[in-house]
Chains A and B, each alone.
Chain A
């Protein structure tokens, strides 16, 4: 991790849908190579924020730059430098494993040779060589998610945004998924990951915890546990949720 280089800079990000404020004045920075956890319960506003950072949606206000590009004016350059794994499933179910890899590699402009070489390496690493020509629809969810992640970083982006990448899979597969994340981070890719599994927060370098559209806490997991006098992140989260309901 390089703490001097900030690849995501967000200042006073607000997003409103009508009178409803989904993101309320978010400010944070993410360093190069960091694994940044973006935590919050369902409906907290995580997906809303991640879509803005990826250039898929306009913020209502705020200054946001990602990989050095402004989300208002330089969205297309921004998109060249990021990967995104959406909360909805993002591979084509009616295409095979290899066809999906080739398609996403191709639209990022990778050459045919590079696509073939990297695809072979990737399938070997995931132990999915036997599934190369199987349709995505026939694979178990855990495999699909690992594959979707690998496809999202296939073009070597600076930052990858993962929106609840481990939703609905068993703990063993989740652990394997996090191994992939660590590996990518070691390779220099910044990871921005949302989750509502609090145990996953422990794997992050820093986490922000969002409640009802606001960031209520932001620090390393160790520091947060200390501040809240909590044994694990679950307790930190519960403490925060309690303050949120008290305020209302």
Chain B
């Protein structure tokens, strides 16, 4: 235990003396969150709608006017034929079609539950998810007013329709930044954690001090633990900055417990840092470590559901995600912050992440060789 104290003391001194490290720790999170949040929302300003109104009732007209009034939608055309509307989608002129069948107004009056059919241009799966989300938010707005329940119903039109239960359940206000930001927080702590840890042990190899460590009776687990703990604390700190930016700058309401986010982050970061240390013990130069860290980072990230919904990935991709820690954390942090999920809703994910953490750290300790 006392040995660990001396090791930690040394690591902290070195981290805070490293001039290139401090900007990474303090400036990068703020820049990354702000730039990415704004950049990622940019192209979602305008959704072109084609409306097929077979009902022509006052109710359908009122809902249409809601879409007209929203800054996110432009009603391009109102017609009577779904086929005509679909042609426009094929030409890529239209992003989504809303269909009011001729019983819409009557159903609203009878309060028996009316439905609007939504057909979405799903060439870009992630925008499709968003169109769907935006549309359902307008409909819910309208619902609140008429207090008749109008549900979306999808038909079996293959290419165009996206059943995106995911988005609108978790983010009822249908704002894009609240949806993206938790994911970006994950990105942030992952990048910093993975790179700092992957570059660390190998740096001591390059300088030569690792030999001096290996010739002492320090245990491998002590040495790696002393590398892991400072980065865990830095990761927590980054998460804190990120959550504060989310809460105070972007005014995102957190529905769930921030402590729960920290609990998951604890397990998650151990897994990521353990992986970084594993990379570090298996490489000989910082360059090698960097490339390997990038390789896994990019794969995990692209598959994680941060930019593209996991649901729209092919089956094999979704299966591979079983091994993707980033995917779990993104899913869970969205559930906690946007949906208010509690511990028991995410206990499976926590268990899996714990399993990752324990195995990857054991592998790292095992693969670290004090003797060549």
**Residues of chain A whose beta carbon lies under 8 Å from any beta carbon of chain B:** 51, 54-58, 75-76, 79-80, 82, 84, 86, 88-95, 99, 102-104, 106-109
Q: Of residues 211 to 249 in B, which have CB atoms within 8 Å of A's CB atoms?
A: 211-212, 214-218
Give Cα distance in the complex from A56 to B217, angstroms.
Answer: 11
Q: Which residues of A contact B209 (CB under 8 A)?
A: 89-92
**Residues A57 and B208 in contact, CB atoms below 8 Å apart:** no
Please give the distance in Å from B266's CB to the nearest CB on chain A. Answer: 27
Give Cα distance in the complex from A91 to B214, angstroms.
Answer: 13
Q: Of residues 178 to 211 in B, which have CB atoms within 8 Å of A's CB atoms?
A: 207-209, 211
**Residues A56 and B371 in contact, CB atoms below 8 Å apart:** yes
Is B145 interfacial (CB-CB < 8 Å)? no
**Residues B372 and A103 in contact, CB atoms below 8 Å apart:** no
25 contacts between A and B (CB under 8 A): A55-B371, A56-B211, A56-B370, A56-B371, A57-B371, A79-B215, A82-B215, A84-B211, A84-B212, A86-B211, A88-B207, A89-B208, A91-B212, A92-B209, A94-B14, A94-B17, A95-B10, A95-B13, A99-B13, A102-B6, A106-B2, A107-B3, A107-B216, A107-B218, A108-B217
Q: Which B residue sits closest to A55, measured CB to CB?
A: B371
Please give the distance in Å from B101's CB to the nearest CB on chain A. Answer: 72
- Mostly, the A contact residues are loop
Give Cα distance in the complex from A107 to B14, angstroms.
Answer: 17
**Residues A90 and B371 in contact, CB atoms below 8 Å apart:** no
Please give the distance in Å from B17's CB to the nearest CB on chain A. Answer: 5
Count A/B pairs, Cβ under 8 Å: 80
Please give the distance in Å from A118's CB to the nearest CB on chain B. Answer: 15
Q: Which residues of A contact B346 (CB under 8 A)?
A: none
Please give the distance in Å from A224's CB to the nearest CB on chain B. Answer: 30
**Residues B14 and A56 in contact, CB atoms below 8 Å apart:** no
**Residues B10 and A99 in contact, CB atoms below 8 Å apart:** yes
Is B155 interfacial (CB-CB < 8 Å)? no
**Residues B10 and A86 in contact, CB atoms below 8 Å apart:** no
Pairs of residues from A and B, 7 with the lowest C-beta to C-beta distance, nearest first: A88-B208, A106-B6, A90-B212, A84-B215, A79-B217, A86-B211, A57-B372
Q: Of residues 336 to 372 in B, which have CB atoms within 8 Å of A's CB atoms?
A: 370-372
Q: Which A residue sits closest to B226, measured CB to CB?
A: A107
Give Cα distance in the complex from A57 to B9, angstroms.
Answer: 28
**Residues A86 and B14 in contact, CB atoms below 8 Å apart:** no
**Residues B212 and A80 in contact, CB atoms below 8 Å apart:** no
Give Cα distance in the complex from A89 to B207, angstroms.
Answer: 8
**Residues B2 and A92 in contact, CB atoms below 8 Å apart:** no
Please give the distance in Å from A101's CB to the nearest CB on chain B. Answer: 11
Give Cα distance in the complex from A103 to B212, angstroms.
Answer: 12
Give Cα distance in the complex from A51 to B371, angstroms.
Answer: 9
Q: Which A residue sits closest to B17, measured CB to CB?
A: A94
Q: Which A residue sits closest to B3, measured CB to CB?
A: A107
Please give the distance in Å from A156's CB to the nearest CB on chain B. Answer: 14
Q: Which B residue sits closest to A103, measured CB to CB?
A: B10
Contact partner of A79 among B5, B208, B216, CB < 8 A? B216
**Residues A106 and B217 in contact, CB atoms below 8 Å apart:** no
**Residues A109 and B13 in contact, CB atoms below 8 Å apart:** no
Please give the distance in Å from A23's CB to the nearest CB on chain B. Answer: 14
Q: Which residues of A contact B18 (CB under 8 A)?
A: 94
Give Cα distance in the complex from A99 to B3, angstroms.
Answer: 14
Given the known inter-chain contacts A106-B6, A107-B216, A107-B218, please indicate yes or no for A56 contacting B13, CB distance below 8 A.
no
**Residues A56 and B10 in contact, CB atoms below 8 Å apart:** no
Q: Which A residue sits closest to B206, measured CB to CB?
A: A88
A57-B372, A86-B211, A106-B3 are known; give 11 further A-B pairs, CB within 8 A: A56-B372, A76-B217, A86-B215, A89-B209, A90-B212, A95-B14, A103-B7, A103-B10, A104-B212, A107-B3, A107-B6
Give Cα distance in the complex from A58 to B207, angstroms.
Answer: 22
**Residues A58 and B5 in contact, CB atoms below 8 Å apart:** no
Please give the distance in Å from B221's CB to the nearest CB on chain A. Answer: 13
**Residues B3 and A86 in contact, CB atoms below 8 Å apart:** no
Give Cα distance in the complex from A108 to B216, angstroms.
Answer: 7
Q: Which B residue sits closest to A58, measured CB to CB?
A: B371
Q: Which residues of B contact A93 (CB under 8 A)?
A: 207
Please give the distance in Å from A82's CB to the nearest CB on chain B. Answer: 7
Q: Which residues of A contact B7 (CB under 8 A)?
A: 103, 107
Contact partner of A92 among B6, B10, B218, B372, CB < 8 A? B10
Q: Which of B2, B212, B217, B370 has the most CB of A within 10 A?
A: B212
Please give the distance in Å from B4's CB to the nearest CB on chain A. Answer: 9
Give Cα distance in the complex from A89 to B211, angstroms.
Answer: 10
Contact partner of A88 among B2, B5, B9, B211, CB < 8 A? B211
Q: Which residues of B contact A82 (CB under 8 A)?
A: 215
Give Cα distance in the complex from A51 to B214, angstroms.
Answer: 11
Q: Which B residue sits closest to A57, measured CB to CB?
A: B372
Q: Which A residue sits closest to B218, measured CB to CB?
A: A107
Q: Which residues of A contact B5 (CB under 8 A)?
A: 106
